C-alpha cells in the first residue's frame, strides 16, 4: 500500500518534487562551493599592504601563522591582564568602520554614539560579555585607521583589535593573535551576467581591478600567462579594494580580485555583482592582542571555542550568508 502510494506520487507531483529537490541541492552546492573557500582579509586596501608583505614573509619565516596561538588550557586565563579589564569595567577594542558587514559605521545613524555593526562587532560583544561576566557589557569601541592597528595595541590604547586582521608572520612579531575566527581567500567578483566563471581562462581579454600592494595584485602578476590568460588586462590598480567596485560599476573594469570577505562586502552593496569561482588562497583573521598578555590570549581563545559552537553561525547568517552563502562554519583550530 505504501509502496503503491509512493509509486503514484512519484508518477505525479513526486517526480516534479524530486527534480526540485535535486535542483535545490545543486543550487546549494553551487553556492557552497565559492563560499567554503571564500574569505580573506577584511578592512581596507591599505590592510592588503601589510598582508602582502606578510604573505611573502610567511613562506620563509613561519609555516602556519594561524596555528601559532596559545591553547586555552596551556596556563592561567585569569591573570593580570584579564583582571585589569575586569577592574576598569569595560573592554576597549579597536575596530574598523569601513568594512561593510564586518565593522561598519552607518553614516545615517542618528544616535549620538557612533553605531557600529557587523560580524567583527558581534564577536567583540561576545568577548566583552564573557570577560566581564554580564550581558551587554560595556565596550569602548575605537574606530582606528588601518595603520594604527598595531601601534594602538602596543601603546595599550586598546585591549584588543578585532578588525578583519589577517594573521601573518610580520604581525606575529609585533602582536599576538587569537586562534583564527574566520577563513578567507582571494576571489573573483564580477557582474552576475558576466561570462567570467572564476580565476581561470574565462578572464581572457578582461580588465581586472585590484588594490595596490594587495595579495590580489601580487597573485595576478605572478599568474598572468599561466593560471590566467596573458590577454587579461591587470593594469587597473586602485588605492583601496572598494575603489574596484566603483570602477566595475562605471564599466571601467570587468572583474575585481580581492579576498572573499571583502568581495562579499562589495557584493552586499551591489546586488548585480557576485563572487565567481573558488578562492585561490588561504588566509585567516584573528583577534590581535598585546604580545605577552598570555592570560588574555588564552581567555579569548577559550571564549572563541564557545563562540564557534553556535553564536558564530548566528552572526555569520546575519551579516555574511546573504553574499557568501551558507558557508561551512568556523575555521579549524590548531594551537601551538
Partner 1 sequence: MTYQQKGGAAPPGAPAPTMPAVPPQAPPPGPQVRSAVPDTGPPRRTAWAEGVDQLRAAATTEPGRLRIIGAVLALLVVAFGAVTAWEMTDRSAAADDVLHSSQPLSADAAEIYRSLADANTAASSGFLAGGQETKASRDLYEKDINNAAEKLVTAAANSEPGSASEKTITKLNRMLPEYKGLVERARANNRQGFPLGGAYLRYANSKMQVMLEDAEHLYTVENQRLRADYDDATPYPWIAIGAGVLAIGGLAWAQHRNYRRTNRVLNHGLVAATAASTVVLLWLVVGHSVARSGLNDSYDNAVRSLNTLNDARIASLKARGNENLTLVARGAETRTEGTGANKKTLDVFDEDYETQMKALTTKLAAAEGLADDSAGMKPVKAATANMKVWKERHKEARTQDNLGNYQGALDRVIGSNDKKPTGECFENVDTALATAIKHEETEFKQAAGDGRGAMNGLVVGAAVLAVLAAAGAVLGIGRRLSEYR
Q: Which is nearer to partner 1, 243 or 282 (CB)?
A: 243
Q: Which of 126, 153, 158, 300 binds partner 1 (CB under 8 A)?
A: 158
3-class DSSP state of 18: helix
Beta bridge partners, 275, equal 189
By CB under 8 A, what part of segment 27-66 binds partner 1?
44-46, 49
Tell me which stretch binds partner 1 (CB under 8 A): 73-81, 184-192, 222-230, 239-247: 239-247
Mode of pairing for the β-strands spanning 186-191 and 255-259: antiparallel
By CB under 8 A, tell whether 201 contacts partner 1.
Answer: no
Q: How many residues bind partner 1 (CB under 8 A)?
A: 40
Near partner 1 by CB under 8 A: residue from 36, 37, 55, 146 = 146
C-alpha distances (whole Å) from 272 to each of 11, 120, 202, 261 are 39, 25, 19, 17
Nearer to partner 1, 145 or 229 (CB): 145
Write down the least CB distance from residue 217 to partner 1, Å.
15
For residue 99, the minimal CB distance to partner 1 (Å) is 8
- Kindly identify the residues of this chain, within the stretch 126-145, that bind partner 1 according to CB under 8 A: 141-145
Distance CA 247, CA 71 (A): 44
**DSSP string covering 271-306:** TTEEEES---S-EEE--EE-TT-HHHHHHHHHHHHH
Query: For residues 94 and 325, which CB has a smaller minimum distance to partner 1 in the complex?
Result: 94
Question: Does residue 258 belong to the site contacting partner 1 (CB under 8 A)?
Answer: no
Query: Please, what is the minimum distance in Å from the beta carbon of residue 126 to partner 1?
Result: 20
Pick one of 8, 9, 83, 147: the residue that binds partner 1 (CB under 8 A): 147
* 178 lines the binding site for partner 1 (CB under 8 A): no
Of 209 and 228, which CB lies nearer to partner 1 in the complex structure? Answer: 209
Confirm if 167 and 65 have CB atoms less than 8 A apart: yes
Tell the smallest beta-carbon distance from residue 223 to partner 1 (Å): 25
**Which of residues 240 and 301 has its CB atom nearest to partner 1 in the complex?**
240
Ranges assigned E (strand) in the chain: 91-95, 98-99, 103-105, 116-117, 139-143, 160-161, 176-177, 182-184, 186-191, 207-211, 233-238, 255-259, 273-276, 283-285, 288-289
Kindly indicate which of the ranges 188-196, 224-232, 243-251, 288-296 contains the residues binding partner 1, using the contact rule CB under 8 A.
243-251
Task: Say whether residue 267 binds partner 1 (CB under 8 A).
Answer: no
67 interacts with partner 1 by CB under 8 A: no
- Give min distance, CB of 242 to partner 1, in A: 4
Rule CB under 8 A: say whether 182 interacts with partner 1. no
Does the protein bind partner 1 through residue 269 (CB under 8 A)? yes
**Interface with partner 1 includes 103 (CB under 8 A)?**
no
Residue position matching grid coordinates 573592554: 91
Q: How far is the CB of 80 from partner 1 (least distance, A)?
A: 24
Cell numbers placing 63 = 609555516
Question: For the chain, what percentages of helix, strand and coil (3-state, to nearest 5) are there?
Answer: 45, 15, 35
Beta bridge partner(s), residue 283: 184
What is the rounded end-to-end Cα distance, in angstroms, of the chain?
60
Half-sphere exposure of 42 (CA within 13 A, CB side): 31
Pseudo-torsion of CA 219, 43, 118, 258, nearest 10°? -20
Which three three-digit cell numbers place residue 79?
A: 591573570
Residues lying near partner 1 in the complex (CB under 8 A): 44-46, 49, 94-95, 97-100, 104-108, 110, 112-114, 141-148, 152, 157-158, 239-240, 242-243, 245-246, 249, 266, 269-270
Amino acid at each position: 500500500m505504501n509502496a503503491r502510494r509512493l509509486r503514484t506520487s512519484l508518477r505525479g507531483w513526486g517526480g516534479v518534487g524530486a527534480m526540485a529537490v535535486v535542483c535545490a541541492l545543486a543550487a546549494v552546492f553551487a553556492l557552497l562551493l565559492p563560499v567554503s573557500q571564500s574569505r580573506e582579509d577584511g578592512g581596507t586596501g591599505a590592510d592588503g599592504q601589510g598582508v602582502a608583505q606578510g604573505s611573502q614573509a610567511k613562506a620563509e619565516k613561519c609555516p602556519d601563522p594561524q596555528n601559532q596561538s596559545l591553547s586555552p588550557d596551556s596556563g592561567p586565563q585569569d591573570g593580570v591582564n584579564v583582571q585589569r579589564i575586569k577592574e576598569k569595567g569595560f573592554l576597549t577594542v579597536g575596530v574598523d568602520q569601513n568594512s561593510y558587514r564586518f565593522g561598519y559605521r552607518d553614516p545615517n545613524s542618528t544616535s549620538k554614539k557612533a553605531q557600529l555593526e557587523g560580524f567583527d562587532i558581534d564577536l567583540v560583544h561576545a568577548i566583552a560579555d564573557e570577560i566581564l561576566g554580564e550581558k551587554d557589557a560595556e565596550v569602548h569601541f575605537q574606530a582606528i585607521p588601518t595603520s594604527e592597528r598595531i601601534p594602538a595595541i602596543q601603546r595599550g590604547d586598546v585591549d584588543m583589535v578585532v578588525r578583519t586582521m589577517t594573521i601573518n608572520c610580520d604581525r606575529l612579531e609585533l602582536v599576538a593573535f587569537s586562534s583564527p575566527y574566520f577563513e578567507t581567500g582571494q576571489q573573483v567578483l564580477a557582474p552576475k551576467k558576466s561570462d567570467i566563471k572564476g580565476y581561470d581562462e574565462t578572464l581572457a581579454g578582461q580588465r581586472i581591478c585590484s588594490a595596490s600592494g594587495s595579495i590580489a595584485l601580487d597573485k595576478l602578476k605572478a599568474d598572468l600567462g599561466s593560471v590566467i590568460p596573458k590577454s587579461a588586462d591587470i593594469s587597473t590598480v586602485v588605492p583601496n579594494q572598494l575603489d574596484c567596485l566603483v570602477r566595475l560599476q562605471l564599466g571601467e573594469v570587468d572583474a575585481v580580485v580581492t579576498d572573499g570577505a571583502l568581495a562579499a562586502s562589495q557584493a552586499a552593496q551591489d546586488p548585480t555583482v557576485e563572487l565567481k569561482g573558488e578562492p585561490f588562497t588561504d588566509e585567516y583573521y584573528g583577534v590581535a592582542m598585546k604580545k605577552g598578555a598570555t592570560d588574555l590570549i588564552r581567555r579569548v581563545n577559550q571564549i572563541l571555542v564557545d563562540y564557534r559552537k553556535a553564536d558564530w553561525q548566528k552572526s555569520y547568517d546575519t551579516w555574511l550568508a546573504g553574499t557568501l552563502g551558507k558557508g561551512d562554519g568556523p575555521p579549524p583550530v590548531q594551537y601551538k
